Structure 1
Amino acid sequence: MQAFRAGRGVRNFLAALFAAGSIVLGAGAALAETSWAVFDVDSGVFVGEDGGSRIQPPASLAKMMTLYITFEAIRDGRLRWEDRVTVSRNASIKIPTKLWVKPGDTISVREAVDGMIVVSANDAAAAIGEYLAGSEAQFGRLMTQRARQIGMKDTAFTNPSGLTDGLKQTTTARDMALLGLALQRDFPKEYRLFAQPSFVFRGKLRRGHNNLMYRYGGVDGIKTGYTDAAGYNLASSLNLNGHRLIGVVLGGKTARARDNQMATLLTRFSNGEGVKAPLVAMNVPVPTPRPAVEIAMHMPEMHMPEIEQGDGGFPVPSLTGWQIQIAALPSRGAAQELLDKVGSLVRTVHTGALAQIETTSRRGRTLYRARFEGFEDQAAATRACAMLKSNRHDCITIEVP
């Protein structure tokens, strides 16, 4: 009985210690300073920073490296888009956000990649890490090794998802900007996947949280992140009239504050402001720059405090089934180019319009429909079409069942 009381006392002490630690951690996150860095791809220099070398947790920005290594494996023939990856129990029990795949079930590499990019799926990241390296820990070592090779001198990864791992998983705003550059430079085709606002998983539409990408013209990705310890993180790429910038904000206090700070930085440095002498010089080549579905998240009901990690925002809602279509083109690249071109026109009428590309087949040929969705009713869709037609673009309104 005495032993039982002693054991209970130890448990109570540890519980109190854990609670105190949690409070301290929460306070630390709330008081953590925000750091940022902006890299000019054309000139190959950092044009501005504030605490750009400060060590901070990466949160889901770590998945950028998981994706880099995944793209590398596909390029080298060690992995194929259609390969099936078994989700282990370890991967399946990761905290949200995730795809909610049961242990022993499989997902394709493409589903895992889309899941990591769009909804920051922790189970998909863990599954890919285990598949490629045997364990999350081993994959973390591989991530850190690759980070050093691309110039990320102050980053250490311990797992593929970016989930908090004490003080062992760390990075800087400058390092994350270099990772964004490496993704664009080494995998320009795959990089375009970061522009996806949503993807289809098992017949359901899963929506992303990269809200700045939808409201700031020229932003074409790349990744958002949040943990209690890290705060709100964001890496963004801006391609404005051929001028490309990569910005990183770490430790934002809220998702909106993080996004607004990034928008301010991109505007400031795209207008030519920068340092007179380069902060760092690099020889870097300038990189060349889905479907009608049922809309549902389909995840177990939960309270938001249970979501320790995610993208630091909420999915952009689809208000109705009204869309507009501009064209059906023979390549995805042509469809994306057209959407980029007319996006600012559409959003002058409806700021919440989301670009999407839907594939279809006609007479044995694959076509790519360039569309915008998110209109509250037919009248809103019609007004957007009228704006496009007044600027000599074709447009039709579509009600998706």
Structure 2
Amino acid sequence: MLYQLHEMQRTFLTPLMQWADASSKLFSNPVSPLAHTPFSQRIAAGYELMYRLGKEYEKPAFGIDSVTVNGKDTRIVEHVVINKPFCRLIHFKKDLSDKDIRALKQPTVLLVAPLSGHHSTLLRDTVSALLQEQDVYITDWTDARMVPLSAGPFHLDDYIFYVQDFIRHLGPDLHVISVCQPTVPVLAAISLMATAKDPKLPKTMTMMGGPIDPRKSPTAVNNLATEKKFSWFENTVIYPVPPNYPGFGRKVYPGFLQHAGFIAMNPGRHAQSHREFYMHLVKGDDEPADSHRKFYDEYNAVLDMPAEYYLDTIKTVFQEFSLPQGTWKVGGQLVRPQDITNVALFTVEGELDDISGAGQTQAAHDLCSNIPADMQQDFVAPGAGHYGIFSGRRWREVVCPKISEFIRKHG
């Protein structure tokens, strides 16, 4: 019922938001007489703020048209390599001849994006920086409300099987990077492949800001999962998709509830950001106002997660701690990170990460006890929060160069 009520509210607000958007332009466009009336900037700013607070945010495009490679501007073309019901594997192909691509000798990277509320476009900056020295593929997870019931359920095990399929398709000369949530299923996927002596094992795995062992330095996110009973999550945040979507009837953790949770973690910071946005509009400070728009266009665009996948994650990762406890079975097979012996491991954490606490990602080193010491590396990014380790200046100038160096060393 809650999802249906949300859709009713969205339907009601849509014309109001369109009116607010049009009114903002009427009071700000220089060709409009209203733009030259007293207080027009304040009125326009108020309408735009209203519009942005109430509008529906669609999935943004990656929008990576070109990158600089060896000092030259190189066009990028997105190409869907594999299309599964719940995920697409996208290749950011450099628009060069086969001969020129071979001459670059760039290592292949599989970037596993989180399936935890936001779209994979949240890693736009990650992809853009990596593309300068790597050949990049990314997992683009599908909004569960767009997947028909006929496609079947999607469990955490299925996530792992998807990752294994992608690794086998691109391997063995492959480097896997996982950001936040996927560090756990990616480690499971590679562990199972190592146990099976799969010839397509990647050369390296880089794990960034993920809950490998959430018992270490628990954050508010971790505490919520442990303080609430599993039944609370089943009964409180899971709802069927309403009939106006292809996934009608599929049970999901709705994106709008996830978004409310994101905001609730730092309500004061978001309120201050919107106040500053209003003042930038009033003063005509276009650059910071545009930065605000770009950030929230991404941050406010959320997707629904399959209920079974979300509930599996809550139980397996955050309540039973199955990976560090050594009790996790996937498809009847025990997940044994200690079976990994020839995949180099790099862990990255943010010094100020308030989502994945200190030591949670580093725990992978203890679990992967049979990887030689000279094939293991750890880095804590000074002054970086959760998003800072894969986006923004610290990512581009500090973290990304270290990952590229690690890949070159073990490639």
- TM-score after normalising by structure 2: 0.26
Greater helix share, structure number: 2
- TM-score after normalising by structure 1: 0.26
